[in-house]
A and B are shown apart, each in its own frame.
Chain A
Amino acid sequence: MTDIAFVRSEMATAQPAPRRVSGMIAWLHKNLFASISDSVMTIIAVLFLLWIVPQLYGFLIGRAVPPGGTVEQCRVENVGACWAYIASEIEFFTYGFYPMAEYWRPNIVFAMLALIGLPLLWPSAPFKIANALLFFIVFPIASVILLSGGMFGLRYVPTEQWGGLLVTLIISVFGICVSLPLGILLALGRQSKLPIIKTLCVAFIELIRAVPLITVLFMASIMLPLFMPQGTTVDKLLRALVGVTLFSSAYMAEVVRGGMQAIGRGQYEAAQALGLGYWRRMGFVILPQALKHVIPGIVGNFISLFKDTSLVYIVGMKDLLEAVKTKNDAIEWASPTQSVTGYIFAAAVFWIFCFSISRYSRYWERRLNTGHKR
């Protein structure tokens, strides 16, 4: 009855795609007013912004006392943020109780961090190996010598006097650089065929993860000296460094293990069949893929590590947040918005660092995408 036979007589040529509807009106319609409920939500959101933005502007800028202002200006009624307070205490927020005459020493460390650390993060920067050696070996040693002094004619500055952003950065940079390799080793150990190594790694990971960071820090500072021989003291900052790093590495281990589980057995087998030994299999084949899968998880850990550094106040360190808290009670700047301004400042500093870490990780995710997901 019907003729189902069909033979194409000429091939259809490729046509250009239909032109997208564009322009202001089309955009508004598509994104803001596509339906009644969309329109209602758009209007509510706009009203909310109209309400909140002027208030924020007034508090942060309009009625605020700019840097250089006086405390009297900060005490008037209905005043905005007291930036003058931040500006006058910025040195304490940056260095803590570090002696003022020696500020150049932390400044050099900050400069080294920027000059040596940042090129390392930039893939196309030259001299990667030399750069890495500088950063992971020379930089830490130079920093310790510079900051604590006591040699080369530098005045000795005990770690009790270090504080502010300096301490926050020391703990977080150290924590980030050490916890990732440590976490990778723990993850490998957890999958080891050797029962002792496996048990030790599992026990460590599960113990640390079952305990709050505050407890780890507390144990590190109170319990650790009890186990040490009489008279030996472990530096407070060192305890905080060790505590934060171990804590983070346990989480890192689980993230890395998650990534390794996403790698098919075929990858292990192909590497084995080529005769690659264990460390080369892991280093060249498994880990590069596993770590790539879990970049968001790793970076999440870095970000929480960065913020968790504020908990080191528990062992008596004055990190950035603790420095702000201390100065928030300072009588000479007592004013209605003093502490709010302090906290906004601290939050802004944390936000800048954490947001940068987050954006940087997105950059690596895009860069490492070799399009093998089909």
Chain B
Amino acid sequence: MSDVSPVVVDRDIDTTNMQVSKTEVAIEIIGMNKWFGDFHVLRDINLRVMRGERIVIAGPSGSGKSTLIRCINRLEEHQKGQIIVNGVELTSDLRRVDEVRREVGMVFQHFNLFPHLTILQNLTLAPIWVRGVPKAKAEETAMMYLERVRIPEQAGKYPGQLSGGQQQRVAIARSLCMNPRIMLFDEPTSALDPEMVKEVLEVMISLAEEGMTMICVTHEMGFARQVANRVIFMDQGQIIEQNEPEAFFSNPQHERTKLFLSQILH
């Protein structure tokens, strides 16, 4: 089990800013349960994410990993337990929900860019209308993030004119324009052609290098190994095992984890 998939980038990760806070909690999940109708999809989830952590959540499909991170910005409602994000507890109070969402960025498997808006408009919509940033300032910030994901020349185009990898980079930039403190990634590379996976992972790595708190649901084990400080394995709606990547891959404990790793790592 020591043969882990190849590294994502052929360079050393700059860890200067990748520091996990010892004291500051970003996300606290306590005894959380969720049902879809009668189906118990998340069972007794307990998770504490410190500021600056890079967590990769892995697991077979249907294990509840996407549902878990979608609970963190309340795209899904939990029925039992507590979720506290940046010190704000998620309840049915919509103002709190919006407060949390402003500080938590999310990147989706299918990008979900707004097809009727240009790239620049996609990036400035929320800053202008949620944060009240003046249009010129929002556009300036948007261009800065487009530079960072290395597609400033596409600003005037529509999402339909971009490749999948470019669209996903725009989606990341769109989240960053809100200046979030936490980023959630829901299988960001699963819908991409193999050639484009790397360009998206590169952007995610550079985010990690800046110290962003990140939770990534992904099958990119190379990314987990190079970037994550913690890997969580889920199955049947529960956290089965979690560890530092090195130990997780080289010395998995639970039978289910061993089986999973043996199937995805050849």
Q: Give the interface segment out of B20-28, B38-46, B155-163, B208-216.
A: B155-163
A288 partner residues in chain B, CB cutoff 8 A: 116
Residues 257-297 of A at the B interface (beta carbon under 8 Å): 264, 266-267, 269-277, 280, 284-285, 288-289, 292
Which residues of chain B are within 8 angstroms of A284 by Cβ–Cβ distance?
Answer: 114, 125, 129
Task: Chain B residues near A276: list those with CB within 8 A.
Answer: 125-126, 129-130
Q: A266-B110, A267-B112, A372-B160 are in contact. Are A272 and B101 (CB under 8 A)?
A: yes
- B75 and A372 contact, CB distance less than 8 A: no
Contact with A along B102-128 (1 / 0, CB 8 A): 101110101011111000000001100
Q: Which 7 A-B pairs have the closest CB atoms?
A: A372-B160, A372-B115, A270-B112, A274-B126, A266-B112, A275-B101, A273-B106
B142 at the A interface (CB under 8 A): no
Say whether A370 contacts B160, CB under 8 Å: yes
Residues on the A chain within 8 Å of B104, using CB: 273
Complex interface: chain B residues within 8 A of A272 (CB): 73, 75, 101
Please measure, in the bound complex, the distance between the C-alpha atom of A227 and the C-alpha atom of B64, giving whole angstroms. 58
Do A269 and B161 touch across chains, with their CB atoms under 8 A apart? no
23 pairs, CB–CB < 8 Å, chain A vs chain B:
A264-B112, A266-B108, A266-B112, A267-B112, A269-B108, A269-B112, A270-B108, A270-B113, A270-B114, A270-B171, A272-B75, A273-B75, A273-B101, A273-B104, A275-B126, A275-B130, A276-B129, A277-B98, A371-B160, A371-B161, A372-B115, A372-B159, A373-B160
Contact flag A273-B161 (CB < 8 Å), given A266-B110, A284-B129: no
In the complex, whether A374 has a CB less than 8 A from a CB of chain B is: yes
Residue numbers in B under 8 Å from A269 (CB-CB): 75, 108, 112
List, in ascending order, chain A residues with CB within 8 A of B78's CB.
none
- Nearest CB in chain B to that of A270: its residue: B112
| Whole-angstrom distance between the Cβ of A131 and the nearest chain B Cβ | 22
What is the 8 Å Cβ interface bit string for chain A, positions 241-271, against chain B (1 contact, 0 not)? 0000000000000000000000010110111
* A residues near B171, Cβ cutoff 8 Å: 270
A372, B116: Cβ atoms closer than 8 Å: yes
Residue B138 lies at the interface, judged by CB distance under 8 Å to chain A: no
A82 CA / B171 CA spacing, docked (Å): 67
Cross-chain contact A289 with B112 (CB below 8 angstroms): no
Which of A187-223 touch B at CB < 8 Å?
none
Known: A266-B110, A267-B114, A374-B160; 4 extra A-B contacts, CB below 8 A, are: A264-B112, A266-B112, A274-B125, A276-B130
Decide if B174 is an interface residue (CB 8 Å cutoff): yes
Interface residues of A (CB under 8 A from B): 264, 266-267, 269-277, 280, 284-285, 288-289, 292, 368, 370-374
Most buried by B among A264, A270, A288, A368: A270
Decide yes or no whether B221 CB sits under 8 A from chain A: no
Q: Which residues of A contact B159 (CB under 8 A)?
A: 372
Question: Is B90 part of the binding interface, using a Cβ–Cβ cutoff of 8 Å?
Answer: no
Contacts of A271 in B (CB 8 A): 114
With the chains together, A288 CA to B129 CA distance in Å?
Answer: 16
Cα A266 to Cα B66 with chains together (Å): 14
Task: Give the CA-CA distance A274 to B138 in the complex, in Å.
Answer: 14
Does B172 interact with chain A (Cβ within 8 Å)?
no
B160 touches A285 (CB 8 A): no
In the complex, are the beta carbons of A289 and B101 less than 8 A apart? no
Task: Verify if B85 is at the interface (C-beta below 8 Å from A).
Answer: no
Q: Which residues of A contact B110 (CB under 8 A)?
A: 266
- Which residues from A are CB-within-8-Å of B173? none
A274 touches B174 (CB 8 A): yes
* Bound Cα distance A272, B105 (Å): 10
Q: Which residues of A contact B160 (CB under 8 A)?
A: 370-374
Chain A residues near B174 (CB-CB < 8 A): 274
Q: Whole-angstrom distance between the alpha carbons of A270 and B73 in the complex?
A: 11
Residues of A within 8 A of B204 (CB): none
Which chain A positions have C-beta within 8 A of B75?
Answer: 269, 272-273
> Shortest Cβ distance from A45 into chain B, in angstroms?
41
Of the candidates B105, B113, B125, the one whose C-beta lies within 8 Å of that of A273 is B105
Least CB distance, B234 to chain A, in whole angstroms:
21
Residues in chain A near residue B129, CB distance under 8 A: 276, 280, 284
B18 interface residue per 8 A CB criterion: no
Chain B residues with Cβ below 8 Å from A373 are 160
Q: Shortest Cβ distance from B183 into chain A, in angstroms?
A: 11
Q: Does B58 contact A (CB under 8 A)?
A: no
A269-B75, A289-B115, A371-B158 known; A275 vs B178 contact (CB < 8 Å): yes
- The proximity string for B residues 84-103 relative to A, scoring 1 for CB distances below 8 Å and 0 otherwise, is 00000000000000100110
Provided the pairs A274-B130, A370-B160 are in contact, do residues A292 and B116 lie with their beta carbons within 8 angstroms? yes
Complex CA–CA separation, A271 to B105 (angstroms): 11
Q: How far is the CB of B99 from chain A (nearest CB, A)?
A: 8
Docked Cα-Cα span, A370 to B104, in Å, equals: 30
Q: Within the complex, what minimum Cβ distance (angstroms) separates A193 from chain B?
A: 11
> Which residues from chain B contact A277 at a C-beta distance below 8 Å?
98, 130
In the complex, the answer to whether B102 meets A275 with C-beta atoms within 8 Å is yes
